A and B are shown apart, each in its own frame.
Chain A
């Protein structure tokens, strides 16, 4: 969806202001927000793609105004209700009102294993790759209302296949419980001028990682 999360190329956010000797977390609530989001994800009821989709579905004004971990928590509240872990009433009062639903319990050991193992997203391909390294391809002009990982700035632009990464879970379907639907993933290189026009740096390029359904021959 064309949400506020798709930020590439926007202007007006001001300087970057990197912080020296930045702590890992800036407050207790940030550390708990990060941990509870990771732990709840380890219940296995939703995918990373679904949680990204919920975050980017926040109204643009909300998405841009909220602190980073507030976006996470707002999405986690929605996911926890949508998947029946908690009810909206329980969230409002902050204590349990009904018995839990069935879900794997997240213990320290299970969590440590999940962090160490991760969740690989590569899958066996179901067909041969349509493109090869060096091919010229165009990122499709598309504006799906659901989740996608093709940024707006690349849509309609012509680039070159820089790498073939293998077949991976397709976020556009996986985010919406429509299956993993594995697709070939390519790294596509665009010149800065192709993306941003003649004023762009002639020596810069931008690559994106694009799934095969995002691409057409150029």
Chain B
């Protein structure tokens, strides 16, 4: 939120956005409050904390993990997360020797109800181009180095399935509460470009 709000000199793109918004609201198609509500929803309500709760639940509750495997859309909805860009969910689990990474090479498909608005790097040409051909190189740029023998599974979201990575539970967190565990689950660990944080962080 910055420079261009309520200033008379807008950048060309900010002016185009404002013109389109003005037209669509003044012609009566969209109530301005609906736009405010969308921004507020994704700035304050729908974000990666949602996904972190799903992961933490899967870590502590084997029955929930099973339900997540069987029908991720339904299991995620149990925690109240559903809707736009999360209509058809699949959970992919990291484990011994297996690491999952999610990308959308064709646009920027992303599981919004559990992770929110995608970060700039996820939408970048560089990530979309490289994640499928050089996943190890991409991971290295995020500071993640996996053993050579680890199998990397890249999921290109080319249809309406949306993927959530379930990272491995960090060692040293035995007996932790779900809430405490959720704080270790980063956004990037649920895309696959990161790992869950360790207990000392």
Chain A interface (Cβ < 8 Å from any Cβ of B): 5-11, 13-19, 22, 24-29, 31-36, 38-40, 43, 52, 55-56, 64, 67-70, 73, 76-77, 80, 85-86, 90-91, 94-96, 100, 103, 105-108, 110-112, 114-122, 149-151, 153, 163, 165, 168-169, 171, 185, 187, 189, 192, 195-196, 200-201, 203-211
Contacts and interface: CB of A to CB of B under 8 A. Distances in A.
Contacts of A115: 38, 41, 46, 83-84
Contacts of A19: 119-121
B23 A90 contact: yes
Contacts, number: 282
12 contacts: A7-B128, A16-B142, A26-B120, A52-B106, A100-B28, A118-B82, A120-B88, A122-B88, A165-B159, A203-B148, A204-B152, A207-B156
B151 A204 contact: yes
Contact of B151 (A90, A91, A151, A205): A205
A96 B26 contact: yes
Given A108-B33, A169-B160, 6 more contacts: A16-B138, A95-B22, A119-B84, A119-B87, A149-B106, A168-B88
Contacts of B16: 73, 77
B29 A210 contact: no
A91 B41 contact: no
B31 A96 contact: no
A148 B161 CA distance: 16
Interface in B33-52: 33-39, 41-43, 46-47
B29 A103 contact: yes
Interface string B83-117: 11111101000000000000001111000010011
SS class, residues of chain A in contact with chain B? mixed
B64 interface: no
B132 A40 contact: no
Given A16-B124, A39-B34, A68-B120, A201 B152 contact: yes
Contacts of A204: 135-136, 151-154
Contact of A151 (B4, B35, B117, B158): B158
Contact of B30 (A73, A106, A114, A149): A106
A118 B84 contact: yes
A183 to B, nearest CB: 10
A203 B1 contact: no
A165 B161 contact: yes
B13 A73 contact: yes
A206 B132 contact: yes
Given A29-B11, A111-B34, A36 B17 contact: yes
B24 interface: yes
A184 B107 CA distance: 21
B133 A25 contact: no
A36 B138 contact: no
B20 A77 contact: yes
**Residue from A6, A121, A149, A196 having most chain B Cβ neighbours under 10 A:** A149
B24 A85 contact: yes
Contact of B43 (A24, A38, A86): A24
A34 B117 contact: yes
Nearest to A64: B125
Contacts of A94: 15, 18-19, 22-23
A29 B17 contact: yes
